[in-house]
């Protein structure tokens, strides 16, 4: 409908034009035809002026409405983004809560199973004592046996852990002999029990007889604590199947030139483990430590390079780990060998970090994708003044160059809370899991090795004897914790 104001303006324009014509006719003495023409001309100009002014006014009104609409759309987009962020935070909390509840349930189920085993052992012991008392024979005194270290049951993220077993070598036969199935040793050799000569002889025999084992320690995501990587930790077994930790023999092995053979054997085991892991999860990875002398020895490195070239398909999941001091003291040969590995797609990690004076651009150019820093070093307030960057900004700085920060040696929940404020994505330490041996093939996914394997393990370690009657039941292979441990002590 035509607005009243428009009608009023039209009437006014007609009156103005008619008045102009009448004034010209009556006052100026112009003829009626000329006065009418002048009046029509004035009316035309008034109509054009009104149309132009209305169009300009409408255009300004429409522009204001479009600007208001744009501001409303931007505000709506911000609100949608805020709702998305809150939804993602809620989903993360729910996932973390579900993971925590699942871990608690598994812990409770494990303790219930342990208590059930203790009750069965108690019943068997009571029955044996009753039989001995009925025969008039004094009851034997039970001898405490060292508990075997719980073998690791490799778990991919959110899936059942696959049962690990030694498989045939995937390398040329020149690298090492076929690995022997190893039961989890139960006793660690004392640090000061051997002199240098004895340790060197033990190392030579262990290499010749293929007694180099690897233990796996998981690296988890924070705060979800899902297993994302495993680090291979080297252990040597002596003639009595006692374990020797790496810090006890590594210096002697490097001085005697045996570290290259050890690294070759460990690299072989890592590839075997990685192949089994990738059957269940393609995103899992394994960290394999490599010594500086291996990187600098042309003969040993050529052998390792041929082996890695044959397993080049595993390059995205096999991470080679070096010490921080190794990267800071690279010579021409080491730099060239490192570049050869990077060209084949292998990624590197740095551990044994002693300070935070890090050049991420240079490390990223050399192929470094992970840096492992002790949690105590990250949380040390003195590092803020001694390093070039505040520890809370280190993860963000490394992330700009494609390097992930891993906090290692985490032993308390308080450290995890503090590290989350530093935006640390990965963690490793005894809080999550210690290094554990691989589960032998055929072991149960929840209850450890079968009774037959438990007897074989005791026989191979020389610490178990064949008992009679009901007392021959195999002891549970997992470490007793919590209430079950208290019941066992009682």
Tokens of 221: 């995501």
Beta strands in 142-211 (DSSP E): none
The pLDDT, as a whole number, for residue 247 is 82
**Length reported for the chain:** 490
The β-bridge partners of 245 are 235
Question: Which carries the bigger pLDDT value, residue 28 or residue 457?
Answer: 28
Going by their DSSP bridges, the two strands 368-374 and 436-437 should be labelled as unpaired
Give pLDDT tens digits for 267-278.
Answer: 999 999 999 888
Tokens of 226: 């899902």
The pLDDT, as a whole number, for residue 121 is 84
Give the CA dihedral 421, 422, 423, 424, nearest 10 degrees.
-120
Percent of the chain surpassing pLDDT 70: 77
Give pLDDT tens digits for 276-325.
Answer: 888 888 888 999 999 988 888 888 899 999 999 999 999 999 999 999 99
Give pLDDT tens digits for 331-347.
Answer: 899 999 999 999 999 99
Identity of the highest mean pLDDT range in 14-23, 191-200, 223-232, 442-451 = 223-232
Q: Are 111 and 482 in contact (CB under 8 A)?
A: yes
Report in angstroms the alpha-carbon separations of 101 from 87, 155, 165. 21, 17, 30
pLDDT reading at 202 higher than 50: yes
Question: Which carries the bigger pLDDT value, residue 133 or residue 48?
Answer: 48
With CA atoms as reference, report the closest residue to 454 among 184, 267, 206, 83.
184
Tokens of 436: 């554990």
Lowest mean pLDDT among 85-94, 158-167, 277-286: 158-167
Q: Are 403 and 371 in contact (CB under 8 A)?
A: yes
Sequence-distant (6+) residues with CB within 8 A of 231 are 216, 217, 218, 219, 286, 287, 289, 321, 428, 435
Residues 404, 389: Cα–Cα separation, whole Å: 16
The pLDDT, as a whole number, for residue 150 is 56
Give pLDDT tens digits for 241-263.
Answer: 888 888 888 888 888 888 888 99
With CA atoms as reference, report the closest residue to 410 among 382, 438, 434.
434
Give pLDDT tens digits for 354-387.
Answer: 888 889 999 999 999 999 999 999 988 887 777 7
The pLDDT, as a whole number, for residue 435 is 92
Give pLDDT tens digits for 104-151.
Answer: 888 888 889 888 888 888 888 888 887 778 776 554 544 444 445 556
Q: Are 414 and 381 in contact (CB under 8 A)?
A: no
Lowest mean pLDDT among 38-52, 279-293, 468-482: 468-482
The β-bridge partners of 322 are 350
Q: Are 206 and 236 in contact (CB under 8 A)?
A: yes
pLDDT reading at 434 higher than 70: yes
Tokens of 426: 């990965």
Q: Are 460 and 241 in contact (CB under 8 A)?
A: yes
pLDDT reading at 158 higher than 60: no
Give the mean pLDDT of the chain. 77
Q: What is the pTM of this model?
A: 0.54
Q: What's the whole-number mean pLDDT along residues 214-224? A: 92
């Amino acid at each position: 409908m035509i607005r009243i104001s428009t009608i009023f303006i039209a009437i006014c324009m007609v009156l103005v034009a008619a008045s102009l014509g009448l004034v010209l006719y009556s006052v100026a003495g112009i003829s009626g035809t000329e006065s009418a023409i002048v009046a029509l001309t004035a009316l035309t100009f008034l109509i054009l002026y009104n149309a132009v002014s209305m169009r300009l006014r409408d255009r300004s009104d429409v522009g204001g409405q479009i600007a208001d609409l744009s501001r409303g759309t931007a505000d709506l987009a911000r609100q949608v983004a805020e709702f998305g962020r809150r939804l993602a935070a809620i989903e993360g909390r729910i996932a973390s809560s579900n993971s925590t509840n699942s871990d608690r349930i598994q812990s409770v189920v494990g303790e219930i199973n342990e208590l059930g085993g203790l009750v069965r052992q108690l019943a068997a012991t009571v029955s044996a004592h009753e039989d001995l008392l009925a025969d008039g024979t004094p009851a034997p005194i039970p001898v405490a046996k060292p508990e075997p270290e719980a073998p690791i049951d490799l778990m991919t993220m959110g899936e059942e852990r696959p049962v690990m077993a030694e498989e045939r070598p995937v390398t040329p036969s020149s690298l090492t002999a076929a690995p022997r199935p190893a039961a989890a040793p139960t006793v660690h050799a004392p640090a000061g029990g051997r002199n240098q000569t004895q340790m060197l002889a033990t190392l030579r025999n262990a290499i010749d007889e293929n007694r180099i084992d690897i233990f796996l320690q998981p690296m988890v995501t924070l705060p979800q604590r899902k297993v994302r990587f495993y680090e291979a930790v080297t252990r040597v077994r002596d003639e009595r199947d006692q374990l020797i930790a790496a810090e006890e023999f590594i210096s002697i092995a490097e001085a005697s030139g045996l570290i290259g053979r050890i690294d070759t054997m460990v690299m072989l085991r890592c590839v075997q483990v990685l192949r089994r892991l990738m059957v269940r999860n393609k995103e899992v990875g394994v960290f394999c430590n490599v010594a500086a002398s291996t990187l600098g020895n042309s003969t040993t490195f050529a052998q390792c390079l041929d082996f890695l070239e044959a397993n080049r398909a595993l390059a995205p999941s096999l991470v080679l780990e070096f010490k921080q001091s190794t990267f800071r003291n690279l010579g021409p040969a080491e730099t060239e060998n490192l570049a050869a590995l990077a060209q084949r797609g292998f990624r590197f990690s740095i551990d044994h970090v002693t300070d935070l004076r890090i050049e991420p651009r240079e490390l990223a150019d050399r192929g470094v994708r992970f840096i492992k820093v002790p949690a105590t070093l990250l949380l040390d307030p003195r590092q803020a003044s001694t390093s070039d960057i505040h520890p809370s900004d280190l993860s963000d700085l490394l992330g700009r160059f494609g390097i992930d920060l891993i906090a290692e040696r985490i032993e308390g929940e308080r450290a995890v809370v503090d590290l989350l404020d530093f935006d640390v994505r990965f963690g490793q330490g005894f809080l999550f899991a210690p290094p554990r041996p691989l589960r032998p093939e055929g072991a149960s996914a929840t209850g450890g090795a079968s009774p037959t394997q438990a007897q074989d393990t005791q026989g191979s370690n020389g610490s178990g004897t064949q008992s009679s009657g009901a007392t021959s039941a195999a002891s549970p292979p997992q470490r007793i914790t919590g209430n079950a441990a208290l019941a066992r002590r009682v």
